Amino acid sequence: MNLDAIPIRRLAHAADLPLPAYESAGAAGMDLRAAIDAPLILAPWRRAMVPTGIAIALPPGHEAQVRPRSGLAARHGVTVLNSPGTVDADYRGEVSVILVNLSAEPFEIRRGDRIAQMVVAPVSRCAWREVEALEETARGGGGFGSTGVGRP
């Protein structure tokens, strides 16, 4: 399947909304819009599953990553809760976005608002080979923040 022609189905409740699109020539993600009938107030520290009104058929070996929009995060503290959310190649249901309001102010989502972005990307699949010990590296078992310890 050609990535230039991924099948997309606009659901009835999104008939008047634009399909996801790149908003600039260099954009990596396509904007997803809220396919809601009435405004939704996202209270501080609350989350909501927001429908987009689309279903897609990705080719095998690909995923769609649902990511936050930087402007919503920077200006309003609204982000994608499970960022990035993954739409698997075999999923055929409606793409929805789990938004969370991390600010102290309520945030209003209106029909057609751009709420997230979607990046289509290849994925790798692996098989595990169980071993008794792993190859040593300079980092070793150093965990979170360990690569910056002792450096200016």
Query: What domains are there in the chain, each with its CATH number?
Result: 8-122 (2.70.40.10)
Distance between CA atoms of residues 75 and 98, nearest Å: 18
User: In this predicted model, what pLDDT tens digit does every residue of 97-146 receive, in sequence order?
Assistant: 999 999 999 999 999 999 999 999 999 999 999 999 999 998 888 777 66
Distance between CA atoms of residues 107 and 129, nearest Å: 48
User: In this predicted model, what pLDDT tens digit does every residue of 12-21 receive, in sequence order?
Assistant: 999 999 999 9
Binding residue ranges for substrate: 69-71, 82, 86-88
Whether residue 64 contacts residue 7, with contact meaning beta carbons closer than 8 Å, is answered with no
- pTM for this prediction: 0.87
Q: Containing H/E element for 22?
A: none
Distance between CA atoms of residues 43 and 82, nearest Å: 18
Binding residue ranges: 69-71, 82, 86-88
pLDDT of residue 148: 65
Residue 2 tokens read as 């050609």
pLDDT of residue 89: 97
pLDDT of residue 149: 60
Point out the least confidently predicted range of 29-33, 78-82, 110-114, 148-152: 148-152
Cβ neighbors of 103 (< 8 A, separation 6 or more) are 44, 76, 77, 78
Distance between CA atoms of residues 120 and 96, nearest Å: 15
pLDDT tier at 151, thresholds 50, 70, 90:
low
- As a whole number, the mean pLDDT across the chain is 94
